[in-house]
Amino acid sequence: MKKFRVGIIGLGTVGSGVVECFRKNGALFASRYGFEYDVTKVAVRNLDSKRLVEVDRSIMTTNPEDVVNADDVDIVLELMGGQEPARTLVLKALNNGKAVITANKALIAESGPELFAAAEANGTRIFFEASVAGGIPIIKSLQEGLSSNGIESIHGILNGTCNFILSCMEAGTSYTDALADAQRLGYAEADPTLDVGGGDAGHKAAILASLAFGQWFTSDMVSVRGIDELDLVDIEFARDAGYRIKLIANILKTEDDKVSIDVQPTLVPQASMIGSVMDVYNGIKILGNTVGDTFFYGQGAGKDATSSAVVTDVIDASQAIASGMIKDFSGFKAFEGASGPAELSAVVSRFYLRVVVEDSPKVLSTITGILGDHNISIASITQKESHEKSVPVVILTHDVLTKELEAALSNLDSLPVVLEKPRTYRLEDFD
Ligand code: HSE
């Protein structure tokens, strides 16, 4: 029986889930793959912290260098998150010829090319399935399962915390209570502003776009808006019109062969597949030029979903080491899939628009006049009777060039009868 020695950096929610998975499925792995796993080193911040799993104290250290430099570690699991010292530790592990598994999307999105080059130079590989969409094998699907396809578009709910918060808010829980629950359940990042501000989904979108289109897209090429700017009233207006607001990552190939990548709150039909994804689940719709539409669904965050992806990578690493193929693929290979990043202003989409206006004559015609001047066609307009001096007007548009919408918003915002900065969100009529 071939034995692999595993070193883990970080024994928080995900690290604990990984240890539990090896204990639960060790006999299955031995029988199914002929591999035995021994966790030989674990780096933690504090030896005395309360933990979700018991680990023999003799293999614990507070120095992560002990893991990446250990002679008795074949596969290093980086589960600490963040940029530094994670980047330096992963580079050291790769330079020591070890296979590396990471769940760290910020690290892969920002430093991917540097890490893949280090892996290639040392005849090893970095695996990162857990970095996007938790337990959904989306990296493997793009790299292997859909390899016969040119990818046309990817739309996804990629942040479990945001989807959990939005689901709770629809059911009447406040934003603050929902975020606290997501943190308690181990869904949120150490810094939850990365979740609610859209940065986490932005990192994941950049990784998916890179794999789909064969060139490395960094986070600064992703236009990001989070759910922290949402008002409950927008969730209610969307619901009344048959939609639900989700934080959607949109990765689209434009007509000039460029790739537009954005993350933003988006209205989607309640009955659509993506609109039915609730709680901590993620859902990803990929359009391939051979297969057509595909949809991937599963838990996007939390102990079990993420450790499932990490341990699957450990098994893949073991198979690659055992067969000698580990040196053949560093984790990413560039190809000619697109000709660079596109401007978001070139994207055509429907939009939701909420304008709070003075409730007086000619206001509505002024607003619709400005939209008309920018070639924006109105699909519906809603104004409920108000007993105040102000009233929200909600407009759903037909397809609009984003650049035209931005110009119209700027004109609207400068009108004295417009009392608040207009709110606008993308609207997608997914099936
Ligand atoms: N904070 C992330 C989420 C964890 O909520 O999706 C998984 O990447």
Domain check: are 122 and 226 in the same one?
Answer: no
Q: What is the mean pLDDT of residues 159-182?
A: 94
Has residue 340 been placed in a domain? no
- What's the pLDDT at 229? 86
List of residues 6+ apart from 23 with CB closer than 8 A: none
Domain check: are 114 and 29 in the same one?
Answer: yes
Measured from the CB, is residue 219 less than 6 Å from ligand 1? Answer: no
Between CA 202 and CA 159 the distance in angstroms is 9
| DSSP notation for 55-121 | --GGGEES-THHHHT-TT-SEEEE-S-SSTTHHHHHHHHHHTT-EEEE--HHHHHHHHHHHHHHHHH
Distance 302 CA to ligand 1 centre (A): 7
- Catalytic residues, by residue number, are 204
Has residue 335 been placed in a domain? no
Sort strands 243-253 and 151-157 into parallel, antiparallel or unpaired.
Answer: antiparallel
- Which CATH number covers residue 75? 3.40.50.720
Has residue 80 been placed in a domain? yes
Between CA 245 and CA 227 the distance in angstroms is 9
Ligand 1, closest atom to CA 162? 5
Q: What is the mean pLDDT of residues 324-346?
A: 93
Domain check: are 125 and 242 in the same one?
Answer: no
| pLDDT at residue 101 tops 90 | yes
Measured from the CB, is residue 160 less than 6 Å from ligand 1? Answer: yes
Domain check: are 16 and 145 in the same one?
Answer: no
Domain check: are 246 and 201 in the same one?
Answer: yes
Q: What is the mean pLDDT of residues 192-196?
A: 95
Q: How confident is the model at residue 117 (pLDDT cuts 50, 70, 90)?
A: very high
Has residue 397 been placed in a domain? yes
Has residue 232 been placed in a domain? yes
Ligand 1, closest atom to CA 300? 6
Has residue 15 been placed in a domain? yes
Domain check: are 145 and 293 in the same one?
Answer: yes
Domain check: are 113 and 90 in the same one?
Answer: yes
What are the pLDDT digits (tens) for 247-289?
A: 999 999 988 899 999 999 999 999 999 999 999 999 999 999 9
Count of domains observed in the chain: 3
Measured from the CB, is residue 300 less than 6 Å from ligand 1? Answer: yes
Ligand 1, closest atom to CA 131? 8
Distance 132 CA to ligand 1 centre (A): 8
- What's the pLDDT at 66? 98
Domain check: are 268 and 356 in the same one?
Answer: no
Shortest-distance Cα residue to atom 7 of ligand 1: 301
Structural domain for 168, as ranges? 138-299
| pLDDT at residue 388 tops 90 | no
Q: For residue 351, report the phi and psi dihedrals to the nearest 5 degrees.
A: -140, 155
Domain check: are 68 and 117 in the same one?
Answer: yes
- What's the pLDDT at 255? 84
Domain check: are 109 and 166 in the same one?
Answer: no
Domain check: are 163 and 65 in the same one?
Answer: no
Has residue 129 been placed in a domain? yes
What percentage of residues in the chain have a pLDDT greater than 90?
94
- What's the pLDDT at 343? 87
Measured from the CB, is residue 164 less than 6 Å from ligand 1? Answer: no
- Which CATH number covers residue 419? 3.30.70.260
The DSSP output letter for 191 is: S
Between CA 389 and CA 76 the distance in angstroms is 63
For residues 97 and 123, the answer to whether their CB atoms sit within 8 Å is yes
Distance 204 CA to ligand 1 centre (A): 10
Measured from the CB, is residue 12 less than 6 Å from ligand 1? Answer: no
Domain check: are 180 and 219 in the same one?
Answer: yes
